[in-house]
Amino acid sequence: MSLKSINNLFETFIGAYANNTIKAYKADFNHYLRWCQKNHQEPESICAAIFVKYLNEMSQELTSATIQRRIASLSQIFKLSSTPNITREPEVLLALKKINRRLGRSQKQATPLTLGVMRKLQAVCDDSIMGLRNRLLLQVGYESMRRRAEICAFRFEDVKTLPNGKHALLLRKSKTDQYGEGKLIPISDELVEMINQ
């Protein structure tokens, strides 16, 4: 697996994976590559015992979630480059279980946008175009529980009137809907009124 071939592989990912996923794959592979170079190892022919050393070194400074993500990235890269997938070796899987037991598997969760917090944030938005936009985006985020990128992709034509007279927001694409099948999310009359202003 030369650097040229790995860069060619990442080029083939474009369109099949989200840009952020490709960036994460590149970053995770580069971390692994640097470790291999520092330890005089060939990245494509490393044995399980040496790979376990890589895991153990990571576990000294990284969380279990970050290690899991890096291993998942490497596993996908190995699979798609037709390289033997060292991450699936029994010795490696056991080492991961030990690390997870030692470090725990809990992840830091993002603080949710509660109604109280949203109202306080909206209260500091003025009546300028930017202020009205920010107030609207806060309401969209609160009601739809969407990620930042999904909120930024909001369009006014995404508001749909349902047969019962209620309204819904069409979520065109999300992290959990990579193929853009779309999903209707019910929204309040308050949000509809803000959109129509």
Q: What is the CATH number of the domain that holds 56?
A: 1.10.150.130
Domain residue limits at 172: 115-196
Distances (CA, A) of 142 to 43, 124, 145, 174, 197: 45, 16, 5, 16, 19
Residues 94 and 17 occupy one common structural domain: yes
What is the structure's pLDDT at 8?
84
State the pLDDT confidence band at 107, using cuts at 50, 70 and 90.
low
Picking from 14-23, 86-95, 97-106, 116-125, which range would have the lowest pLDDT averaged per residue?
97-106
Q: Which of the listed residues 103, 136, 151 is the one where a domain comes to its end?
A: 103
- pLDDT confidence tier of residue 108, bands split at 50, 70 and 90: low
Task: Say if residue 53 is in the same domain as residue 17.
Answer: yes
The residue type at 106: S
Task: Quick: pLDDT tens for 129-157.
Answer: 999 999 988 998 888 887 777 787 778 88
Q: How many domains does the chain fold into?
A: 2
